[in-house]
């Protein structure tokens, strides 16, 4: 039976009302995680108010080394 480990990362958005994402920084970190064997299984934004987002939460998994 396969066993997995999980990682949860939170990316804060910028701006007074949120919603601005440093895409190059996020992309660089996502590529590094992919190189390390992590696969994103979920990504969602948190709703602050009136549709603005304060952070993005991403969940990753990879198989445990045995």
Written as six digits, the tokens of 46 are: 């948190």
- What pLDDT was estimated at residue 15? 67
- What pLDDT was estimated at residue 47? 73
Q: Using CA atoms, how far apart are residues 35 and 18, in angstroms rounded to an integer?
A: 29
- Pairwise pLDDT comparison (44 vs 16), residue with the higher score: 44
Whole domain around residue 22: which residue ranges? 4-63
Q: How confident is the model at residue 19 (pLDDT cuts 50, 70, 90)?
A: low
Q: How many domains does the chain have?
A: 1
| Cβ-based neighbours of 11, under 8 Å, separated by 6 or more | 21, 22, 26, 55, 56, 57, 58
Per-residue pLDDT tens for 29-65? 999 999 999 999 999 888 766 667 778 899 999 999 8
């Amino acid at each position: 039976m396969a066993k997995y480990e999980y990682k949860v990362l939170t990316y804060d958005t910028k701006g007074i009302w949120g919603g601005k994402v440093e895409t190059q920084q996020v992309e660089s970190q996502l590529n590094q995680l992919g190189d390390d064997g992590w696969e994103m299984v979920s990504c969602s934004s948190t709703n602050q108010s009136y549709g603005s987002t304060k952070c993005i939460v991403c969940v990753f998994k990879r198989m445990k080394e045995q």
